[in-house]
Structure 1
């Protein structure tokens, strides 16, 4: 199996595992909501979701050994397609036209945006200076939306801002995880000290990303999920350009195509948000666990989508 095919197979399998986990955890959340929020931890569906997320994390990490960060993150958007489709089949619930349109625009926009940059080929590890640049860029990109989310009084806006910060955290964690994998496997040797720093970074960013997801999903699910999925690969590209020395085309056609793709993805997020806020009556949507709840693991944001399409289940 060649390198490109390995990346496609592993990253796609990871995305499907995350999607199946989202469906399983959604079922657990709906059952818990029917029992006044009790029994979620003991639910078979919840434990199934946890195992599927761990499987997804392992597949994602292995994929990072064979391909670039951008390639793996790009294929991760398949979760956004697979999760609602699996949910509609398993839970026998129809998706609304707005959900179909929003999901399609988001996925097409992200895929088109990342298709404009080189995303194949093997990954590489950053040197010490690049690690510092990665840390600074990540801190700024996370801090700005979190600060804005804490001062806004609009819950939906705060959710999207926390989701954006979570996407940044997961992208940076994936970049550092790739560094660890390539260093440990001997594919791209480097100083032990920087490898340890990368491990510490993953251990910090992964739970922070999960916590930010918990904040993002308190008042909605579809739009924050789309936002995390959008920001994650886009920030991976930004890390490559600003911190890892990657260079991409900047011709007029490339820039115009990138702008069109970004507009399409943004429109998709807007449609998902509007479908959410115009859905079920207040109080009819089951809530996600508060910050500090019992979700964990690398890129576990997709499991936090415990009710993708939950509004439909209440109509």
Structure 2
């Protein structure tokens, strides 16, 4: 199979799986926030989300075998296209014009940014020094984001900060997973200690990202999802520049276009967050707990409290 085609197919399939998982996590978050206080472990939507995230991770890891980290992360933008459509169907929620425009702006901004910073090469393994650099950079970035979420004012700030931390966790896990899969398939080499660090990092970061997503989705879907989707590839680029020594064009036009793309992406996240916190028309509110409602074959119980669109991912 052609390498480029493999990356496109596997990356796109992974994005759709992650989008479905995001919607499932949003359903679980809405149910847990209800009056009955249903725990995550008792939520069918939560277990579906775990399975979909696992499927997305498998497809994502397979894509990393054939393409560079940044190229594969770029395909994650498709999640922003698939998630609103799935959310609209599953949550019985009509998407507003603001939500569509916010999604469009974010997708355009992310695609523009990544088009200006193309991958510096093919898939590759990290040596021991690079692995340590990735771990330290990830710890700092995640620590700052979680701290902002903890001390910041307002549910929206917390939601977007948790989503940013999740994006960092997933990007770092992808970088480590690429090294792991290349070594397993014989395309890369490294010491036993480095291999242990890679596996340990993936085992920690993947669940951490999942839990951070769950915290972010308590306040909404589109804005946290847009934030995560934006941070994920951007942090992959930061890892490439800071740790791996990648270099990209820095001409005046490139920088100018990069600023425009960044502003578009940021504006998109702002529009999505404002649309969620301002509330949707009554007829467009999610009917997660409606009588007889089902989530992919799993019956959802009626919630005693009205479902409120919040500030989560």
| Shared fold per TM-score greater than 0.5 | yes
Gaps (5+ residues) in structure 1? 288-308
Count of residues in correspondence between the two structures: 289
Q: Which residue of 2 aligns with 1:304?
A: none
8 Å CA contact 2:106–2:268 kept in 1: the answer is yes
**Per-residue deviation at 1:20?**
2.6
Q: Which residue of 2 aligns with 1:267?
A: 267
Distance in 1 between the 2:260 and 2:17 partners? 30
Distance in 1 between the 2:16 and 2:185 partners? 26
Change (3 A) 1:310 1:15: farther
8 Å CA contact 2:96–2:280 kept in 1: the answer is no
1:112 has 2:112 as partner: yes
- What SS does the corresponding residue of 2:244 show, helix, strand or coil? coil
1:147 has 2:160 as partner: no
Considering only aligned residues, what root-mean-square deviation do their CA atoms show, in Å? 2.7
**Per-residue deviation at 1:149?**
2.4
Distance in 2 between the 1:149 and 1:165 partners? 9
Following superposition of structure 1 onto structure 2, how do residues 128-207 of structure 1 map, counting pairs within 5 Å? 128-207=128-207
Q: Which residue of 2 aligns with 1:19?
A: 19
Gaps (5+ residues) in structure 2? 289-306
Deviations 1:263-292 (CA, angstroms, capped at 9, x unpaired): 1000000001100111059xx9899xxxxx
Q: Which residue of 2 aligns with 1:125?
A: 125
**Per-residue deviation at 1:151?**
1.9
Q: Which residue of 1 aligns with 2:309?
A: 311
- What SS does the corresponding residue of 1:311 show, helix, strand or coil? coil
8 Å CA contact 1:113–1:258 kept in 2: the answer is yes
**Per-residue deviation at 1:52?**
2.3
8 Å CA contact 1:103–1:268 kept in 2: the answer is yes
8 Å CA contact 1:33–1:286 kept in 2: the answer is no
**Per-residue deviation at 1:29?**
5.8
Structure 1 residues 186-195 or 65-74, which shifts more?
186-195
Change (3 A) 1:79 1:248: same
- What SS does the corresponding residue of 1:244 show, helix, strand or coil? coil
TM-score by length of 1: 0.83
8 Å CA contact 2:22–2:221 kept in 1: the answer is no
